[in-house]
Structure 1
Amino acid sequence: MKHHVPPERWSSPSDPSRGLDRAEVEARRARFGRNDMFASRRAGWREVLRESARDPMPWFLLGISLLFALLGDHTEAVVLGLALLPILGMDAYLHRRSRASVEGLASRLAMRSRVWRDGHLVEVDTVDLVPGDLVRVEASEYLPADGVIVDGGHLQLDESALTGESLPCRKHPWTGAMPEDAEIEDRHWGAAGTRLLTGSLQLRVVDTGARTLYGGIVRLAQTGPRQRTPLQQALSSLVTALVAVAVLMCVALALARWYQGHGLLDAVVSALTLAVAALPEEFPVVLTAFLGVGVWRLARHGALVQRAVAVENIGRVSAICTDKTGTLTEGRLQLRTLQPASDVDEPALLRVAARASREDSADPMDTAILERAGGAGGERAATFPFTEKARREVAVFVLEDGQFEAVAKGAPETVLAMCTLSSEEREVWSARAGEWAARGYKVIACARRALPAWPGGEPDREYAFAGLLGFADPLREGVAEAVAETRQAGIRVLMITGDHPLTARAIAVEAGLGGAAPTVRLGEDLVRDLRRDGVAALADLDAVARCLPMHKLEIVRALQAEGEIVAVTGDGVNDVPALQAADIGIAMGRRGTRTASEVAPVVLLDDNFGTLVEAIAEGRQLFGNLKLSFAYLLMIHMPLVLTAAFVPWLGLPLLYLPIHVVWLELIIHPTALLAFQQLPTRARLQRVRRTTRLRFFDAREWAVVIGGGLALTALVGVGYAYSLESSGSAVHARSMALLVLVVASAAVTLALGRGRTRAARIVPLAALASAIVLLTIPTLAAALQLQLLHADDWMLALAGGVLIGAVAALFHRSHRAVRAS
């Protein structure tokens, strides 16, 4: 990567080492503004309330709650009132998430900076820096702006805030004059929000505020979308349609009863009874309960859900943009392979490498070597650290006999040139180092030299070659199997990393992405093609290397534009924009930053890609369970509402009184809430048909639901009419209709839930038991204005229940057909 340095942003004082003077600072601040990365709109609680007021669901629940309160059903009113809390809490969470992301981003920036002004090193507020300032940064401090490193030695920067890669990046100063419109290579560049690990540096500021890479991340994070989820939108549309139909039916029934001469009171009671039966208040309550259960079920698999509504999207994921480091890999550098020279064994090679490493170094390569070798040992006389120019590290040790030994490690081409090897031997070892590098290894060479005497200075020739070491971040156990499972289930997996393309390709091969020849693109090239060719640029893509946060965000949006439901994994503040834009953002719990964990609605406690796959399977099962519950509600509510409306319309006596509706609701509510939510997860991910719009049911599933509801409506109506004609008693006919509904409710529950859980067995049996108690005990029957039924009535009701249960069982077959299509 190269960074453009416009001439107007480069300092031009007579003595650059003195920094800017006061007049230059004021002029530049007036021209370029303050180094403020957080100047943007702030979302307050009034905005949260305004957004919540646009959602019809809270108003619907509030209205129904008031209606139940007016009718005297205070328990139902309180339950619906409480259901408002999680819906309003979702908007409050989004508000808190936005604030948390900004607070976390701010924590990675220095509030005060040391800068040269008028020839003196002074401390100023970081927001007061301007392009051209000369800033001094010490080890463990964060860089306050973007610019060119002009002084320093042995520099290593932690750039994970921008790239997501945990390994340090070596930097070295730019020397010489700055040409006009220069393009500075990344090894000379320092960026705001990155942390200096070793050494000290001086940075000539080029970009400040929103122009910095970090400022771009902040801007994207603060403007992240906060719209309702697809499931909320789909449920809102469904409930709105049902409410509209219910209101029209209630008005029509009231007018019909009044026109038939039953009086105004009868008309109002009829309409209110129908309203209690028809208004779909169960749907948001069931959704809230199921999402709560989903949070608990996912937590058992190591996925902590911080925003319950996010559970809905996990099961619908069709594309995963996953980090490499720490998610697919273990997130730590390991010595994976080594090849000693012909006259050296492995312990001797490790001893040379360990002595050429420093125990106080923050370099993970040194750490990996020392862990494998068990320490360096010996008395160190001198160290000549790694530099970009030398590309090697040399140490001199004092031996027990008073002689000396020089050891070296570094870039293979550098170390091989220091050794006494023939040209053929040097070519063989160079070729082997190239092969390892192509496989994604970070390769170094080691050498040693015996020194009878050491006059001082760095020994740089006549070394004996010791061998090669290959380092890599190993793939996590089970990742390849998890990737294969997701791909077989039709889920696209795209690895996005800030690492080198060779490393990305090697990990992609090992993880099973793209087979033996995965397609890897550079982030900058891919984004350019996305802007030119659209989503076609993503065809057959397996991995993206050297990817910046804004690149990752554009990739996510491109996938969403293609109709994908995108999950994004991330662990750093660099991932915040993509985590917010994704349909489901997933943070890494172990190695992730506070910002990523607070922004993402889901946190993987073990940082494992396999856990994500388990969470997707659990989410799909949860959505399937929710569909079963909604199918039950519709199949039972449809005959209840239609018969409650059409029987009185025909001039017949009221089919249901308010007490009967209460009895049925006491059966319907627990069944919808308990009978389906704990159905077990399938052993493996199933392939599902991708849709661009969330729908509760496919056309075939709708056919089963509507067909079953109409069939049950016909059975209830026929049973009522038959019993009314044969007995001449409206009370007997009403008892028959209620028995048919209760038996059908139990049959539908058993058919949909298949008795796979205790609740799926107990709930329908409890419903049947309530019918037996209320319709066989004369006192209770009379209190509910019901009558005892004959044996043939029970047989007809049971036969009808079996028939409706058989229709409901077709829902599973249509559901499997949808999955396989």
Structure 2
Amino acid sequence: MNRSAPAERLHDLWNNTNGLDAAQVVERRATFGPNTIVAESPSGWLEIVRSTVSDPMIWFLIGTAFLFIWLGDLTEAAVLGVALIPIAGMDAYLHRRTQASTEGLRARLASQARVLRDGHEQDVLAEDLVPGDLVIVPSGAYFPADGLIQSGDALQADESTLTGEALPVRKAPLGLRPVGTGSVTVDGEHWGMAGTRLLTGEARVVIALTGAETLYGEIARLSRATQVDRTPLQDAIARLVQILLVVALLLCVILAGIRYAQGYGAVDALLSAVTLAIAALPEEFPVVFSFFLGLGVYRLARKQALVRRAVVVENIGRISCICTDKTGTLTDGKLTLNNAHPAEGLSDNELLAIAATASRAETADPLDLILLESARASNGKVEAVFPFTEDRLREVAVLRSPKGNCSAAMKGAPETVIGMTTMSEEKRDLWRQRTQELAASGHKVIGVAIRSLQDWSGEEPETGFDFAGLLAFSDPVRPSVADAVREAQDAGIRVIMITGDHARTAAAIAQEIGIGAAEPRVIDGKDLAAHLDRQEARIDFDVVARCTPSQKLALVQALRAKGEMVAVTGDGVNDAPALRGADVGIAMGERGTRSAREVASIVLLDDNFATIVGAIAEGRQLFTNLRLSFAYLLMLHAPLVATAALIPLMGYPLLYLPIHIIWIELILHPTALLVFQNLPSQGMLSHRSKGNRLSFFAPREWLAIGLVGTLASAVILGGYILNLGETVDVPHARSMAMASLIIAGSAITAALTRLGSRSAWIATVAPVLSAFAAIQIEPIATVLHLSPLHPIDWVIAVFGGVIISAGAAFLHQRQDRSTPDAKLFKEG
């Protein structure tokens, strides 16, 4: 939970025990706005009502009820009117659930805050807080904004809202205020976050971030934005719905004409057509997908991955290759100076002094800061600095001493520095060999050189340097990275490390964390372009060393051209092209620049590679659940539509009346939306099957869905026709068909969910109980145009459900062995 604090906002306020004065509050409120973390939604219930009445089922019921009133059948009209209540209620509940991830956040926010202003304690509305306010947070209260803890003893906080971790987190005061002119990273133990609660102690907190800038506010904003974003898969589903709708309408017209020609009359023809239209309308698919999309944003945020674009929820589970930075992602990002190897005639301190002279504090580069802390730069005036760039691989500072003499201090990549010195080739080879040895042990190595300038022309000196020695730094690997890399590779995800380090250093780090084979395959950045230009060349390397931003982008484009779904990590402005060019761009939240965060689709809150793997696992589980939900809808829609069309076309009395379609919809909607999204996670990444499919299901999975749908249609159709009998007992035949359909639906639910949650048990058992009660209780059966079944009828229906569940279970086994592939709906 480390975060960047804007140091300038806290200037001269850290040790101020009186708080802001009235003028400062007014000025800061005008600058930063109110502390509105989650905006109120005044039209929330109006939006729910609007969404509810847009359900075609509502208007189907209303229109059919008026049809029965026109026919004089007031009892049937009343039944349909009463049926409006559960249908509308269910719609309102489900629409409310889709808003819960955003609106529910408000319950975790402080509405009041105790603040010190003008030296006096006062209670104010939380939204009136401004950056710089000194807030007193008592035990049991929520932090009203994101702030740095100034004082407090034995502090513990509940951060489960943001992290999902239930255990208390220790908090400690920050000893010194953040120093600098920009953003300064502060360890998470010193932060009090909006939406989290102080469990023990009393804390004084200096507010740093308010409103949408807080972590809580960013999650809420992203959740709201996701509801209006559209993704390629969402567009594909919308087109599918449009096609099915046109086909359904054509079938309805044909069915109505045939029924009328068969002599059943205009009312029967109209009812059969309308019933088929509602049964065939696949409105659940876009609703279910949108619901899962919003759910994904919330779950990934709990995994420390903030989603900035909805499409990433669709893509994250299909990642097949991760191109990751080394520093700060695979490693801690905290360099330490391990060894100094000065040239002959120089001491360690003299070597460090030359390197410090070629360093600048204003860059905030960790390596420069270490050198400036380790040694004092040479005295004199800096005349010019030729900065380090990705293509130059060196930094040169020209210094004029108090006596007026000029000299140039240089540090940079050892091979570059050595090549610009006056050493003999034999000595150059010795220092290159020592560089290789240090790099092979996982060290980041820089070379240092110096040159006297007699008549400096103002240009950068490029030759004539005296070699001063080598400095070796190390950046420890994060403890969780090796396990995360192994988990990703075991699941079929390629991991390619991209770094600016020396090839030997990169290979040593890659070998330590297990990237690639026992001996990681390394390619140098300068050789990458030639390798990628060969069309037949395979991208079979594990590490790219000395890589520039343009080379990183070229690698991403080449991987995507070969069908990989690529995730890229980055933190700097120079990473922006690769982040934008990837399928999933992942910016670092702690040390990433604003440019990187703006173009990325995910922002990591902890800059940890393990978080990427956890997000992919969550995305794959979510996508697997979505596929199971769609499979459920297809398996039940197929027999529903088939029997709604075939029975009237064969000249038999109508099987489904409007009230029966309502009954089925009351089962379909909550099961597809609520049960499958709640399936338990497998915990680990599942393996990605080989090959790139362009369909939502594999051919064998489509075959299983088709067989289950056909089998269910045969069971329902056979049960209806065989039970009509010579006397044409329609209520009894209809009861048998409805019992078979509902039991089949419960069997499919049980097989696909494996009864892995309480909601799965309810969705399996409740429909069967409703069928038994509606059919066997005669007054209810009469209203529903049914009649009680014999025990043998129920046995036959249950036996059919068992057979159907076997086919659905086969599909779930296929789901376990496969996860979304790289090109799955990639282009919509």
Normalising by structure 1, what TM-score? Answer: 0.62
Return closer, same or farther for 1:567/1:227 CA change in 2, 3 Å cut-off.
Answer: farther
Please tell me the residue identity of whatever aligns with 1:480. Answer: A
Deviations along 1:632-666, one digit per CA (max 9) or x if unpaired, are 11111111111111111111110000111001100
Candidates 292, 296, 299, aligned match of 1:297 = 299
- When residues 668 and 413 of structure 1 are mapped into structure 2, their CA distance, relative to the original with a 3 A threshold, is closer
- Deviation, 1:572, is 3.1
Residue 284 and residue 316 in structure 1: after superposition, are their counterparts in 2 closer, same or farther (change >3 A)?
same
Aligned residue for 2:320? 318
Q: Deviations over 1:776-802 (max 9, x none)?
A: 333322222222222222222222222
Q: Is the 8 A contact 1:747 1:804 kept in 2?
A: yes
Residue 336 of structure 1, CA deviation: 4.0
Q: Which residue of 2 aligns with 1:717?
A: 717
CA deviations over 1:436-485 (Å, ceiling 9, x no partner): 145552246899xxxxxxxxxxxxxxx9x9x9641134333322332222
What letter matches 1:802 in structure 2? V
Alpha-carbon distance between aligned partners in 1 of 2:395 and 2:654, rounded to the nearest angstrom? 96
Show the 5 A alignment for 1:181-260: 229-232=231-234, 234-236=236-238, 238-260=240-262
Q: Percent identity?
A: 49
Change (3 A) 1:65 1:568: farther
Tell me which moved more, 568-577 or 600-609: 568-577
Task: Tell me which residue corresponds to 1:442.
Answer: 445
Residues 96-129 of structure 1: CA deviation (Å, up to 9, x unaligned): xxxxxxxxxxxxxxxxxxxxxxxxxxxxxxxxxx
- 2:595 corresponds to which residue? 595
| Contact 1:437/1:443 (8 A) holds in 2 | no
Q: Partner residue of 1:665?
A: 665
**1:331, CA displacement in angstroms?**
3.0
Question: For residue 716 of structure 1, what is the amino acid of its counterpart?
Answer: I
Displacement, 1:546? 4.5
Shift of the 79–705 alpha-carbon distance from structure 1 to 2, 3 Å rule, reads: same
| Contact 1:392 1:414 (C-alpha < 8 Å) held by counterparts | no
- The 1:612/1:381 distance shift into structure 2, 3 A limit, reads closer
Residue identity opposite 2:740 in structure 1: V
Of 489, 492, 502, 2:491 maps to 489
Residue 285 (structure 1) aligned to one of 275, 287, 293: 287
Gaps of 5+ in 2: 1-50, 66-83, 100-227, 387-393, 402-408, 419-424, 451-465, 822-828
Aligned to 1:569: 569
Whole-angstrom distance in 1 between the partners of 2:417 and 2:565? 50
Residue of structure 2 equivalent to 1:675: 675
Deviation of residue 342 (structure 1)?
A: 14
| Corresponding residue of 2:309 | 307
Cα offsets for 1:119-174 (capped at 9, x unmatched): xxxxxxxxxxxxxxxxxxxxxxxxxxxxxxxxxxxxxxxxxxxxxxxxxxxxxxxx
* Counterparts in 2 of 1:327 and 1:380: CA distance versus 1, 3 Å: closer
Write the distance in 2 (CA, Å) between the matches of 1:717 and 1:414.
80
Task: Spell out the pairing of 1:447-526 with structure 2 (5 A cutoff).
Answer: 469-515=471-517, 517-523=519-525, 525-526=527-528
Q: CA deviation at 1:307?
A: 2.7
Please tell me the residue identity of whatever aligns with 1:541. Answer: F
Distance 1:256 1:435, change over 3 A: same
Distance in 1 of aligned mates of 2:317 and 2:785: 47
Q: Following the alignment from structure 2 to structure 1, what is the Cα–Cα distance between the partners of residues 338 and 753?
A: 51
| Paired AA for residue 441 in structure 1 | K
> Where does residue 741 of structure 2 map in the other structure?
741
Describe the shift of the 1:446–1:499 C-alpha distance in structure 2 as closer, same or farther (beyond 3 A): closer
Q: In the alignment, which residue of structure 1 is the partner of 2:808?
A: 808
CA RMSD across the alignment: 4.7
Distance in 1 between residues matched to 2:768 and 2:345, nearest whole Å:
85
Residue 611 of structure 2 corresponds to 611
User: What are the Cα deviations for residues 44-98 of structure 1, in whole angstroms up to 9, with x where unaligned?
Assistant: xxxxxxxxxxxxxx9xx998887677567696699599989999xxxxxxxxxxx
1:508 maps to a residue whose letter is A
Report the Cα distance in structure 2 between the residues aligned to 1:691 and 1:654, rounded to whole angstroms: 46
Correspondence list, 1:7-46, <5 A = none
Is the 1:587–1:602 Cα contact (8 Å) retained in structure 2?
A: yes
Deviation at 1:262, TM superposition (A): 1.5
Deviations along 1:514-558, one digit per CA (max 9) or x if unpaired, are 445444445464335434x23x33431223344444443333232
Offset at residue 298 of structure 1 (A): 1.9
Partner of 1:675, secondary structure, is helix
Amino acid at match of 1:252: I
Question: By how many angstroms is 1:287 displaced?
Answer: 0.8
2:295 aligned with 1:268, yes or no? no
- 1:350-382 CA-partner distances (Å, limit 9, x unpaired): 8995898589835533533576x7x98xx9987
Q: Say whether the 8 Å CA contact 2:689–2:819 is kept in structure 1.
A: yes
Cα offset, 1:424, TM superposition: 12
Q: Distance in 1 between matches of 2:563 and 2:337?
A: 42
Deviations 1:12-63 (A, max 9, x none): xxxxxxxxxxxxxxxxxxxxxxxxxxxxxxxxxxxxxxxxxxxxxx9xx998
1:314: Cα distance to partner? 1.1
Partner of 2:555: 555
Secondary structure of the residue that 2:361 maps to in structure 1?
coil
2:397 and 2:438 map into 1 onto residues whose CA distance is 19
Secondary structure of 2:688's aligned partner: coil
TM-score, normalising length: structure 2: 0.61
Q: Distance in 2 between matches of 1:765 and 1:349?
A: 77
| Alpha-carbon spacing, 1:593–1:640, altered in 2? closer, same or farther (3 Å) | same
Residues 98 and 294 of structure 2 are in contact (CA less than 8 Å); yes or no, is this contact kept in structure 1?
Answer: no
Greater shift after overlay, 263-272 or 807-816?
807-816
Aligned CA distance change for structure 1 residues 510 and 730 (closer, same or farther; 3 Å):
same
Distance 1:352 1:551 in 2: 33
> Quick check: which has more Rg, 1 or 2?
1
Corresponding residue number in structure 2 for 1:49? none
AA partner of residue 652 (structure 2): L
